[in-house]
Amino acid sequence: MNFKGMDILDGAQFTRAEIERVMEVSEEMRERLRESRSLNLLRGYVLGTLFFEPSTRTRLSFETAMHRLGGDVVGFASAGVSSVKKGESLEDSIRTVDQYVDVIVMRHPQIGAARRAAAVAESPVINGGDGAGQHPTQALLDLFTIRTERGQVDGNTIVLCGDLKYGRTVHAGVELYKHYDCRLILVSPDALRMPPELTARLREQGVVVEETDDLEAALPEATVLYMTRIQKERFADPEEYERLKGSYVLTREMVERLNPDLTIMHPLPRVGEIAADVDALPGAAYFRQARNGIYVRMALLWLVTGQSEA
Amino acid sequence: MNFKGMDILDGAQFTRAEIERVMEVSEEMRERLRESRSLNLLRGYVLGTLFFEPSTRTRLSFETAMHRLGGDVVGFASAGVSSVKKGESLEDSIRTVDQYVDVIVMRHPQIGAARRAAAVAESPVINGGDGAGQHPTQALLDLFTIRTERGQVDGNTIVLCGDLKYGRTVHAGVELYKHYDCRLILVSPDALRMPPELTARLREQGVVVEETDDLEAALPEATVLYMTRIQKERFADPEEYERLKGSYVLTREMVERLNPDLTIMHPLPRVGEIAADVDALPGAAYFRQARNGIYVRMALLWLVTGQSEA
Amino acid sequence: MNFKGMDILDGAQFTRAEIERVMEVSEEMRERLRESRSLNLLRGYVLGTLFFEPSTRTRLSFETAMHRLGGDVVGFASAGVSSVKKGESLEDSIRTVDQYVDVIVMRHPQIGAARRAAAVAESPVINGGDGAGQHPTQALLDLFTIRTERGQVDGNTIVLCGDLKYGRTVHAGVELYKHYDCRLILVSPDALRMPPELTARLREQGVVVEETDDLEAALPEATVLYMTRIQKERFADPEEYERLKGSYVLTREMVERLNPDLTIMHPLPRVGEIAADVDALPGAAYFRQARNGIYVRMALLWLVTGQSEA
C-alpha cells in the first residue's frame, strides 16, 4: 500500500486496507497533537488551496492541518480572484500552480473538476468537493468520527437523513461504509432520495439498505444519525427548497424519547435540521467531528506527500 | 492577574493593573523585535482571523503580530467567503473554527458579536471591532502610543475630535483613559457628540470632561490630539455625511500657530481630517501608532494564550 | 552593486551587471531547492502582498517564493477588502503596511502606482504589475527562461507576438533585452503595435528591431517565440477585442513545419493563442517559465532585503 503521490478524488477509490491506514494515521496525529500543538512532519512543504467555490470550513480545516504539520499554505478563497475570469482553462490554472506547490487541495463547482486537475498535475490533488460530486475527505473524517464515538465501524446502524439526492458527503460516505458490516437506513423526502443506481450498487455489495421517509420510525434502531443540510444552492426552484427544508428537524425531546444513546453527526453548516438544545447532549458529536477533520486531513497530507515513508 | 484564556471584548473590562501589564509586555515586545525580526514565543500556535467585515489594517496587523511571534494564521477577509451565506449562525461558525485554532480574532458588523462568540468558544476571542461597538485593541495601542510619545499617560490633556457618537475607537478609548489622571476635551459637531450616558459615566468616575465644537479653541491646551474619521458607512443619509465630513481639518499651519508640541494621533484611515503637510511634523504620530499596533497585539496574543506564564 | 533596500519598479532600472546578478542568484536558488524544499534565508521576515487588482498567478508565485525562503506572508488578494473603499489614499495605505512588514509586493491597476508606493515606503517595494505599465519580475523570469532554455541570452532571435501596445510584460522585457546581443522581431496587428517611441529607443541603443504582422514569416528565423494574450480588459470597445483576439494562434503543425527547434514562451494565462497540442512539444517552455518565477522572485526577495550580504 503506497499513498505517495496518490490523488484523493472520491470515496470509491479506496480499499478497506487503505481506509484503515488513513484511520490509524489520523489517530496517530490526534495523539501526537496532545503532546505538541504542531509537528515538524511537513516543514518546508507548500500546500496550494484552490477554492474556485468558497468553503470556509473545508479551507480553514486543510490550512490548519497543514500548519500543524509544520508546512505553509498559498491559495485563494473564491474564483473571483483567480485567473478564471481572464478566460484561462482549469487545466492551465492547475498546471501553473503545480509548478509552485507540493500538494493541491481544490474545491470546484463542477463535477469531475478534481479528476481533470489530477490528470494534469504532478503534485497530488485532493478533492475538497466538486459540485454535487464527491467530497472524500469529509467521508473519511465522518468514518473516523463513527469509529471514535462508537469504538468501531462494524456493527453500526447508520441513519442517513436529509438530502440524499444531491448531498455529496453522503455519496462519498456510502462508498466507505460498503467496506464495513453496517446497516444503512436512508431517510429522505421522496424528491431527495438517494439515486437508485447508488442504492442498487450498495445492495449488490451486500450492504443492508432500507429506505423510508419517517425519521422517528428509524431512530430507535440507529446507533448513528447522520443529518445533512438541504442545500439551497442545489435547487433550481426556490419554492421547492422552501417546501422541503423543514422536513426533518431533530430535537432534544426526540433523542431523549426515542434513543438517548444516539451518536448525532452533521457535516455542518446546519440551518435548523438540529435544534440548538441538542448540542448539550453527550451524543452530539458534530463539533468533535469538525475537530476530527484536522486529524484526518493531516494524515492525508502526510500520506500523499510520501513523508510517512521517509 | 491571569490573562490565560481571557477574552478581549471591550475597553471597560480592564483594571488599571491589567492595562499596565499589557503596556509593559508591549514594550518588551518592541525591545525584543529590535534584536530579532521574529520571536519563537507562539511557535506551533494557530490564530484564526475571522473578518465578517473587511478591515485590512486590523487584519494585517494581527496577522503580522502572530507571524512575528512565530505562529501561523488561517482565516477569511470578508463575509462573502464564509459559511454565513449558507445560513449558518454566528455561534456555529465560531464553534467550528474553535475546533481548529488556538486563538480567535474577529471583526463583525454587529454590536455584541464578539461577546456572543466568546460565550461559545473555548479559545480566547479578541474583538477586532464589532460595528459601532467596541475596538479594544485599538484603544490599547492608542494608550501605548500616548505613553510612548508623552512618557506617561497621567497628566495629559487629550482632545478627542470628530465623530464621537459612532466612533468605536473613541468609545473603547475613554474606558481606558478613565483609569488615568487625564483631562478630556471632546470636540465634535453637535450631531456627532459623544453619547451623554458615556460622558456622564466618565464624570462620575472623576474624569474631567469638557465639550465644545471649536477645535482651534481646544488645541492650545492639549498635549494630545486624537482625530477620527467621520465614517461614511455609519450614516443613513449621504447628505448629512457630506455636510459634516469637512467639519474638522487639521493643518500644519494650525499646529505651528496654536501648539507646536502637540502629539497628533489618528486610528486611520484618514480621508482628509489631517492635511498631508502635517505628516512631516515631529508630533505626527499616526504611522508610529500603526507600528505600535504590532507590539500591543503581540502582547495580547502572548498573554491570552497563557504562554507568558510558561 | 548593492541590492539592499532597492525597489524593483521597472525593467529600465537595471544595468546588465545587475541583471546578471539576479540571474546568478536565481540559478543558485534553483540548485538549492533541489536539495531542500525550503531554505532558511528569510526566517522571521514578513512579506506584504498588496494586490489592489487580482492576480492569482503573480501573488501565489511571490507567496510561494517567500515561504520557500522560510519567511511569512500577510496581504490581500483584491481591492474589495482593502481600505481603499473607505477613501484612503494609496500613500497612506502603503505607509501603514510599511509599519508592519519587511518587504512589499504590489499589483495595482494604475500606471505609476508602484513608484508612488516606493516613494513613501521604507521597506523595498516590488512592482507586481501596474496597469498597462511595467511588470519587471515577469521580465526577469522571462529572461531567466531564455537563458535556461537556450543556454544564453546573447545571439537569440526573439519573436514578440500579440498585443505589443498594452502588454506590460513585453514593455518590461525589451528594457532587459536591450542589454544583450539579440534581434527582436515584433509581430502584431497594426492596431496593437509597440509604441513607436519604445521601438525608436531600442534602435538608438543598437538593438536590431523588425516589425511585421505575419507570424508565419517570422517563425523560421526565430530561436524564441514569446506569445502574449490579447487582454480583454485593455479594450474600451468589446467589438475591437473580438476582431483582434484570434489574430495569432500557434499550432503544433506550424511549429513542426516552420521551426521544430523553437522555444515557445507565454506569460500566461493564455486564452487560445497557443493550441493545446503544442504543450507536448519539447520547446513548449511556458510551464517551466512559471516555475522559474519562483526562483527569480526568491532571488529578488533575498537581494532587496539585504540578506544576501549578511
Contacts of A45 in chain C (CB under 8 A): 37-38
User: C82 CB near a chain B CB, below 8 Å?
Assistant: yes
- pLDDT for the residue numbered B106: 97
Is residue B95 part of the annotated active site? The answer reads: no
Give the one of B45, B95, B97 whose C-beta lies nearest to A60's C-beta.
B97
* CB pair distance less than 8 Å for B74 and A54: no
Q: Which residues pair with A157 in a beta bridge?
A: A183
Tens of pLDDT, residues A270-306: 988 999 999 999 999 999 999 999 999 999 999 999 9
B21 Cβ contact partners less than 8 Å away, ≥ 6 residues apart? B1, B3, B303
| A178 vs A176: CA distance, rounded Å | 5
C201 Cβ contact partners less than 8 Å away, ≥ 6 residues apart? none
Contacts of C287 in chain A (CB under 8 A): 95-96, 98-99
* Helix, strand, or coil (residue C80): helix
Q: What b/e sequence results for C195-218 when a residue is b if at least 16 CB atoms lie within 10 Å of its CB, and e otherwise?
A: eeebbebbeeeebebebeeebeeb
Query: Is B272 in the same domain as B187?
Result: yes
Residue B245 is assigned to a structural domain of this protein: yes
Query: Is residue C152 within 8 Å of residue C177, measured between CB atoms?
Result: no
| C183 vs C103: CA distance, rounded Å | 36
Residue B129 is assigned to a structural domain of this protein: yes
pLDDT band at B239 (very low <50, low <70, confident <90, very high): confident
Is residue B4 part of the annotated active site? The answer reads: no
| A77 vs A60: CA distance, rounded Å | 10
Q: Kindly tell me if the per-residue pLDDT of B96 is higher than 60.
A: yes
| Cα of B81 to nearest chain A Cα, Å | 5
| A303 vs A296: CA distance, rounded Å | 10
Q: Give the helix ranges, DSSP H, for chain C.
A: 16-35, 56-68, 90-100, 113-120, 136-150, 168-177, 196-204, 215-218, 238-244, 252-258, 286-304
Residue A67 is assigned to a structural domain of this protein: yes
Query: Is residue B61 within 8 Å of residue B297, measured between CB atoms?
Result: yes
Q: Which residues pair with C214 in a beta bridge?
A: none
Q: What b/e sequence results for B22-38 when a residue is b if at least 16 CB atoms lie within 10 Å of its CB, and e otherwise?
A: bbebbbebbeebeeebb
Query: Is C182 in the same domain as C268?
Result: yes
- pLDDT for the residue numbered C39: 95
* CB pair distance less than 8 Å for B291 and C95: no
The answer to which of A153-157, A181-185, B10-14, B168-172 has the lowest mean pLDDT is B168-172
Residue C202 is assigned to a structural domain of this protein: yes
Q: Which of B241, B281, B284, B238 is nearest to B263 (CA)?
A: B284
Residue A193 is assigned to a structural domain of this protein: yes
Query: Is A118 in the same domain as A191?
Result: no
Q: Which residue has the cell 470546484?
A: A108
Contacts of B76 in chain A (CB under 8 A): 56, 60, 77
| A302 vs A102: CA distance, rounded Å | 11
CA angle, residues B59, B65, B71, in degrees to nearest 5: 105
Q: What b/e sequence results for C240-276 when a residue is b if at least 16 CB atoms lie within 10 Å of its CB, and e otherwise?
A: eeeebbebbebebebbeebbeebbbbbbbbbbebbee
Residue A144 is assigned to a structural domain of this protein: yes
**How many beta-carbon contacts under 8 Å exist across B and C?**
80
Domain that holds residue A225: 136-290
Q: Which of A21, A32, A57, A150 is catalytic?
A: A57
Query: Is C129 in the same domain as C193?
Result: no
Q: Which of B30, B59, B68, B107 is catalytic?
A: B107
Q: Which residue has the cell 480545516?
A: A61
Query: Is residue C167 within 8 Å of residue C232, measured between CB atoms?
Result: no
Query: Is B152 in the same domain as B233?
Result: yes
Query: Is residue C270 within 8 Å of residue C229, measured between CB atoms?
Result: yes
Task: Residue C34: count other Cβ atoms within 10 Å of its Cβ.
Answer: 7
SS (H, E, C) C23-45: HHHHHHHHHHHHHCCCCCCCCCC
C87 conformational bin, left if phi > 0, alpha if psi -120 to 50, beta if neither: left
Query: Is B120 in the same domain as B228?
Result: no
Query: Is B124 in the same domain as B269?
Result: no
Query: Is B126 in the same domain as B198?
Result: no
Q: What is the DSSP letter of A166?
A: T
Sign of CA dihedral C157, C163, C169, C174: positive
- pLDDT for the residue numbered A293: 98
- pLDDT for the residue numbered B87: 80
Beta strand pairing call for A208-212 and B208-212: unpaired
User: What residue type is assigned to position A213 of the chain?
Assistant: D
Nearest-Cα residue of chain A relative to residue B44: A38
User: What residue type is assigned to position C299 of the chain?
Assistant: A
pLDDT tens per residue across all 310 residues of chain C: 799 999 999 999 999 999 999 999 999 999 999 999 999 999 999 999 999 999 999 999 999 999 999 999 999 998 775 556 678 899 999 999 999 999 999 999 999 999 999 999 999 999 999 987 789 999 999 999 999 999 999 999 999 999 999 888 888 899 999 999 999 999 998 888 999 999 998 999 889 999 999 999 999 999 999 999 887 766 778 887 777 776 789 999 999 999 999 999 999 999 889 999 999 999 999 999 999 999 999 999 999 999 776 5
- pLDDT for the residue numbered C238: 82
Give the one of B64, B233, B270 whose C-beta lies nearest to C101's C-beta.
B64
Query: Is residue A190 within 8 Å of residue A213, measured between CB atoms?
Result: yes
Query: Is B64 in the same domain as B165?
Result: no
| B204 vs B196: CA distance, rounded Å | 12
CA angle, residues B115, B118, B121, in degrees to nearest 5: 155
- pLDDT for the residue numbered B237: 82
* Helix, strand, or coil (residue B88): coil
| Cα of B216 to nearest chain A Cα, Å | 47
Is residue C16 part of the annotated active site? The answer reads: no
Query: Is B302 in the same domain as B188?
Result: no
Half-sphere exposure of C134 (CA within 13 A, CB side): 22
Q: Which of A4, A3, A9 is nearest to A136 (CA)?
A: A9
Give the one of A51, A271, A293 whose C-beta lies nearest to B86's C-beta.
A271
Query: Is residue C133 within 8 Å of residue C10, measured between CB atoms?
Result: yes
Query: Is A61 in the same domain as A103?
Result: yes
| C159 vs C170: CA distance, rounded Å | 11
Number of structural domains in chain B: 2
Q: Which residues pair with A107 in a beta bridge?
A: A51
Is residue B85 part of the annotated active site? The answer reads: no
User: C56 CB near a chain A CB, below 8 Å?
Assistant: yes
Task: Residue B285: count other Cβ atoms within 10 Å of its Cβ.
Answer: 23
Give the one of A72, A74, A88 whose C-beta lies nearest to C269's C-beta.
A88
Against chain A, the chains showing at least 3 CB pairs within 8 Å are B, C
For residue A162, the domain's CATH number is 3.40.50.1370
Q: What is the DSSP letter of A220?
A: G
Residue A102 is assigned to a structural domain of this protein: yes
- pLDDT for the residue numbered A240: 77
Nearest-Cα residue of chain A relative to residue C74: A74
* CB pair distance less than 8 Å for B54 and C81: yes
Q: Kindly tell me if the per-residue pLDDT of B230 is higher than 90.
A: no
- DSSP-derived secondary structure for A86-138: GT--HHHHHHHHHHH-SEEEEEESSTTHHHHHHHH-SS-EEEEEETTS--HHH
* CB pair distance less than 8 Å for B232 and C80: no
B200 Cβ contact partners less than 8 Å away, ≥ 6 residues apart? none
User: B270 CB near a chain C CB, below 8 Å?
Assistant: yes
* CB pair distance less than 8 Å for C81 and B37: no
A237 Cβ contact partners less than 8 Å away, ≥ 6 residues apart? none
- pLDDT for the residue numbered C81: 56
* Percentage of chain B exceeding pLDDT 70: 95
Residue A211: enclosing H or E segment and its boundaries? strand A208-212
Which grid cell is A99?
509548478
Inter-helix orientation angle A286-304/B90-100, to 10°: 40
pLDDT tens per residue across all 310 residues of chain A: 799 999 999 999 999 999 999 999 999 999 999 999 999 999 999 999 999 999 999 999 999 999 999 999 999 998 875 556 678 899 999 999 999 999 999 999 999 999 999 999 999 999 999 987 789 999 999 999 999 999 999 999 999 999 999 888 888 899 999 999 999 999 998 888 999 999 998 999 889 999 999 999 999 999 999 999 887 766 778 887 777 776 789 999 999 999 999 999 999 999 889 999 999 999 999 999 999 999 999 999 999 999 776 5
| Cα of A75 to nearest chain C Cα, Å | 7
Beta strand pairing call for B183-187 and C125-130: unpaired
- By CB atoms closer than 10 A (0-12, 13-18, 19+), residue C6 is buried
**How many beta-carbon contacts under 8 Å exist across A and C?**
80
Tell me how far CA of residue C30 lies from CA of B94, B300, C2, C26, C42, in angstroms: 42, 40, 22, 6, 16
- By CB atoms closer than 10 A (0-12, 13-18, 19+), residue A212 is middle
Q: Which of C273, C302, C305, C216 is nearest to C29 (CA)?
A: C302
| Cα of C308 to nearest chain B Cα, Å | 16
| A66 vs A45: CA distance, rounded Å | 9
- pLDDT for the residue numbered A32: 97
Cα Rg for chain A, rounded, in angstroms? 19
Tens of pLDDT, residues C81-125: 555 667 889 999 999 999 999 999 999 999 999 999 999 999 999
Residue B85 is assigned to a structural domain of this protein: yes
- pLDDT for the residue numbered B81: 56
Q: Which of A18, A80, A117, A14 is nearest to A126 (CA)?
A: A117
- pLDDT for the residue numbered A128: 96
For residue A64, report the phi and psi dihedrals to the nearest 5 degrees.
-65, -45
- pLDDT for the residue numbered A289: 98
* CB pair distance less than 8 Å for C74 and B64: yes
Is residue C107 part of the annotated active site? The answer reads: yes
Query: Is A60 in the same domain as A183?
Result: no
| B59 vs B237: CA distance, rounded Å | 29
Which grid cell is C202?
531600442
Against chain C, the chains showing at least 3 CB pairs within 8 Å are A, B
Q: Which residue has the cell 506584504?
A: C48
| B196 vs C296: CA distance, rounded Å | 59
